[in-house]
Structures are given as C-alpha cells and as structure tokens.
Structure 1
C-alpha cells in the first residue's frame, strides 16, 4: 500500500494527534507499507492566533497537489480539519478519490472555551468536512455515539495504543524533592485543557504540571505553589509519570487522552471527569476513578493498585492500533 496521510498537526508540535499519527506511520512502514505524511512543516506557515506554537499552512493547494501526485498514493487519510485537511479534501473531491478522515479534537467545544461562540455552527462545518469522505475514524464508543447523534453517518472505530517498553514504571523517585502525594497533569497548558480546574483543587502533597502553552506564565503567577516542569519527551516523560501518584486528567473536550494510557502503563492511576475518553477507558478497570467531583476522584485514585493500572494499559498496543487503522482505509477508486 502507498498511503498518504495529510495532517495540520505534525512535528514539532507535541500532542496526542502527532504521537498517534507518527507512531502509526512507523508501525505501518515496519510492516512493509509505504507511508508519506504531509504536514505544515513543508509549507510557508503562520502562527495560530493566541497559540503561536501551532503553525498553519498558507495557501497550500498547489504545492499539496504536486506532493500528492509525486507520491502516487493508492489510499489517502486526512487527519485534521485545518488548511491542509480542507485542501486535500478539495483535491480528492475534484479527482473523485475516496478518502478517510479521523476525528481527533472537539473543535466546537475548544472554540466555545476560547471565544464563547456556540458550538452548533462549528459542528455543522465539521460534519460537512467528514461526511465527504468514505469513513470517519473515532477512538471511543462514547465519541462514536456522539458523532452519530450529530449526524455523522460513516463513523468507524479506531482505538489508541501506548509504548509499553518506554512507559514501564521506572523512575518512582523522579519527584523525590517534592512532598507526596504527587498529583500530575500532562499536556498543553491551554484553556481547552481545563488545567485551572486541576490547579484549584485542595489536595495534599504537590501538584506538578508537565507541558507548556499560552497559559503557562499566567498560571505560574496565579498558582505559585505548583511545580511547572515544561515539556518532556521520551524517557524524561516516562519518569515524570512513574514518579507521580495520580495523573489528574482535567480536560472535558479531548476525544481520548493518550496521557491516560501512558500514565497507566507507568503504574500511575488516573483521576478524571466522567466524559468522553475517561468514560471509555477507566470505569471498571481499577486503573483510576472518574467523578464529577475531580478532587474526590483524585483522592480516591490514590488507593488504586499500580500493578492493576499497568495491567490495564497492557490491553492497548500501537501494533493493534495501526492494524485497525490500516484495515479501514479505502482505495482511492472505491466508494
């Protein structure tokens, strides 16, 4: 197979979409497929207003067409609904190519969090984008049900994975200088991650934030007792998880939350709201607690067994994720 993946979220961004796409591409290549990823790094870009670390491709259609023709794909997957996603969608429709898409981010809720705009218009735009394809991949049952309620008719399951060798629980002494228990948040320090809900919690011990973003400086000033560690990747990120006692996942708008699996694989249980993502991964697992009272969830998660959290994460593999992705791709000429 010669697969073309087009995505507006790509390196050097650090987020779950980039980790998912880069890992799936790597696994598929190891299995013998040819995979090309086209991201904003190959175009002139501009910073996303209020979020400069995210770069948007400028007028990408002509260059994107040349790149697609040079690659000669027999399957196309459009991962995001940004400038590159819309440009590739237009090219596919112009040529009668069937393509698949994936739903990674609840942009309507993100926009509402950032601007106060009602989400109904954004949902209509997203539905128009995805329904033009042959199938929309969604990570969890609750997300698939929500998309169906919102008029998406071609939704397909596509789970997530975790690197079980990297996130192995080594490094329990990582935060040795801080009072325990250690409550950890990992992700972009941005309004849509609802991180302030975590920082406001009355919890014993220490709060650690791994990540960076537009709200970091303001939150550091507002919550000086919290420890802001910046971005971490690879072994340093794995030690951050292993050294924590609970990962507090405060987001209400993520579609999955890879950080939950990474924490569990490290033996660290998760506390979260009962929303899409956590509801699909945590209940009944013994690997964490969901509750509308996030403080109660965080305190209850302290009692979770670390070995049980690790065992739950072992149910998720990147190989299974990649193979599930591949099975649902569609040849360009089929509908």
Structure 2
C-alpha cells in the first residue's frame, strides 16, 4: 500500500518497485494498492487503485472505505504501508480492524515539508504533523526508519515500535565503468569543453530539496555545474544559476550516464530521511558532499567517501567542494571507497531483511512455539 506509484516517479515509487522486483524473485505474491490512475500490473503483480486527486503535482490517494474492502478481498498475510500519511493511515486502520499484521515505512519528512509551505504557521503545523504521524504509526506493528538520525527523531516524537531498515542501490546500473562509454564522453565534452571539474546535483527541483544552495558554488573557478532533474522550482533555479547545465528529468541508463559524467556529487537537502541519490552517486564511483544532517550522516563517511558540510554556516558548501576541485587523486580515492561501500548494499539483501521484518509481525516472537 503506497502513497505514490507509477506513473509518478520519486523515491517512494522507486523503493516500492525495487521491493516488488525482489519479492517476485523470491517467489512471493504481492498486490499493489495505490492512487489512480496507475498501470493495471507491475510485472507479475496486480495493481489496485483507489480514488485520488492531484496536490502540488503529486497524486494523492483518498482514505476511503475501499481500502478495507480491498483488504477483505485480497486476504494478505501482511500489509506493507509505504510512507503512509493519508491513504496509508486509512489502510493501517483497516488492517488493524481486520487483524492483519502491518509494517509501516517512514520515508518522507512530512512535518518539515509542510512547514516549508506554512509561512508564519510553520511551528504549529510541525507540531500538528508530528501528532498525526505518532497516531498513524501507532497503528502499525512496526515502523521502519531509513537512517539512525530518523530513528532517533521518531523516538523523540513518541513513535512506538520503530527499527532501522536501510535502502538498497542498483550497483549494476550505477557503475564507474560507464565513464568510458561514448555517451558519457560526449556529455562531458559538452558541459566541460575546457576540462573543468564537473560538479553535479541529481534530484527533484522543489523547495524542500534546497537546491538554491548550489548558488554558493555556481562561480567556483575551474568547475562546470550540472543539475539533473525537474520540478516546480526549475524556472527559478535556471534564473539563479544561469551558467549551470540543466539536463532535465532522466531515468534508467540516461540517469546512470549523467552520474558517470560527474566528478563530484553534491546533495543539498537538510530534511532527507535517507539520501538515495547519495548511494547512487557512490555506486557510480563519485566522491559526495552533503549536509551534516539527517540521512546523509549514515551514508557519508567524512574524509573517506566524501565530506559533510555545516548547512547553517554560509560558505561551508563552497569551501568543502573547493577542496575536491582539481584534486583528482582524492576524488578517485573517495569514489573507489564509496563504490566498495555500495557493493554490499544490493536491493536483494535489503529486501531479504525486509522479509525478515514481515515474518516478525506475522509470527511475533511471543506467538512462536518453543524450540
């Protein structure tokens, strides 16, 4: 049960699809419940839709009684609620009514997202959001957080029965080997004709991603700035960063080629519960720079795979990136270490861990027969 699914593409959709891929490979059965419109099937699995509406370019499912009807018909062993908020809340409540075990995945920092759009009411909106999140996650048998920072935050706000479950990365698609391809060589020649160090960002172009921080490095000598992605703030960012190369939305191999064309990857958002693009960049063999906040704290090892900068001190992003510019040896060393770190984070292993959590709620320890 997911708040977001195809054709919408974002972090929630991507993680749900990867989980489904590996559930299929392990011989399990699944049904996807999501807002419509959506494809009728994903691979071998059926997709069932509920009524939805569009809010700020996102398709939002309505928490109707259809969810309980669908669960009665499907009779699942466990309900997986991906980033629950509205649709997921109703699904968790319906599952509890029917006695179906549940696993909730906390993936989106909704309080911070809502606060950024609330103006003078930001503080009140944040408090209300956390009360709601505490309530809806109390309906789940277990809540899985993607990083230790997020796990601590959930605990501080009273969310019960939480555990750590990280995310996987496709190390076959995102690979340093792509750097030698003709497409990547052509892209590098286009954006850095004079051999500049290519610094890039990949992700959605929206307020909560704080991409405006790239202005600090837009005129850094000896660099070319690349922005991959699309979203509601693209026009403003193009005005803010007139010399940057905006490559637009990419997925699959073109996205992997965009990563491979970079020399340094920069992550800008401070409210990330995880940071999947950091993992993809590291899998591509890149040194990474990210804020010392939230999910990146678990992913980036300072001085080893990249650097963390203080997001509250202006100029630190620029100073941090500057240490990597024209230092090819450090970039290569950090990129190689990041690649090795990602090689043990395959989606297959991560989903096997998730299946273990499914088993823990389907047959809890206190209900298992003694050995």
Normalising by structure 2, report the TM-score: 0.83
TM-fit CA distance, 1:276: 1.4
Aligned residues: 326
Corresponding residue to 1:245 among 260, 263, 273: 263
Structure 1: runs of 5+ lacking an equivalent? 1-5
8 Å contact kept, 1:272–1:297: no
Q: CA deviation at 1:231?
A: 0.8
Q: String of CA shifts for 1:164-204, please: whole Å, max 9, x gaps.
A: 11011203523321232111111110000000012343423
Structure 1 residue aligned with 2:138: 131
Query: CA 1:331 to 1:74, structure 2 compared with 1: closer, same or farther past 3 Å?
Result: farther
Matching residue within 304, 314, 322 for 1:299: 322
Does the Cα contact within 8 Å between 1:207 and 1:227 map onto a contact in 2? yes
In 1, Cα distance between the equivalents of 2:259 and 2:357?
33
- Counterpart of 1:270? 288
1:99 aligns with 2:64: no
Q: CA deviation at 1:333?
A: 8.0
Q: Quote the residue 1:3 is aligned against.
A: none
In structure 2, list runs of 5 or more residues that go unmatched.
Answer: 37-48, 311-315, 367-371
Does 2:332 correspond to 1:325?
Answer: no
Alpha-carbon offset, residue 301 of structure 1? 4.3
Question: Retained in 2: the 8 A contact 1:264–1:309?
Answer: yes
CA contact (8 A) 2:2 2:83 kept: yes
1:15 maps to what in 2?
10
Q: Is this contact kept in 1: 2:197–2:224, CA < 8 A? A: yes
What CA distance in whole angstroms lies between the structure 1 residues aligned with 2:28 and 2:84? Answer: 25
Deviating above 4 A after TM superposition, structure 1's stretches of 4 or more consecutive aligned residues are 330-335
Larger displacement relative to structure 2 (292-301 or 308-317): 292-301
Shift of 1:222: 2.8
Aligned counterparts of 2:324 and 2:347: Cα–Cα separation in 1: 26
Decide whether the 8 Å contact of 2:103 with 2:142 is kept in 1: yes
Q: Normalization by structure 1: what TM-score?
A: 0.91
User: What is the 5 A alignment of 1:206-221?
Assistant: 206-221=224-239
How is 1:10-49 mapped onto 2 (pairs within 5 angstroms)?
10-41=5-36, 42-48=49-55
Deviation string, structure 1 residues 34-71 (Cα, Å, up to 9, x no partner): 111211132332211xx22x11123x523323332332
Query: Which of 59, 66, 74 matches 2:69?
Result: 66
Decide which structure has the larger Cα Rg and report it. 2
Larger relative contact order (Cα-Cα within 8 Å, sequence gap ≥ 6): 1
Contact 2:84 2:104 in 1 (8 A): no
Alignment of 1:123-202 (within 5 A): 123-169=130-176, 170-171=178-179, 172-173=184-185, 174-179=187-192, 180-201=196-217, 202=219
Report if aligned partners of 2:79, 2:103 keep a CA contact under 8 Å in 1.
Answer: yes
Superposed CA RMSD in Å reads 1.9
Compare the two structures and name the one with the higher helix fraction.
Answer: 2
User: CA distance change for structure 1 residues 166 and 200 in 2, over 3 Å: closer, same or farther?
Assistant: same
Shift of 1:285: 6.8
Q: Is the 8 A contact 2:77 2:100 kept in 1?
A: no
Contact 2:145 2:165 in 1 (8 A): yes
Deviation at 1:128, TM superposition (A): 0.9
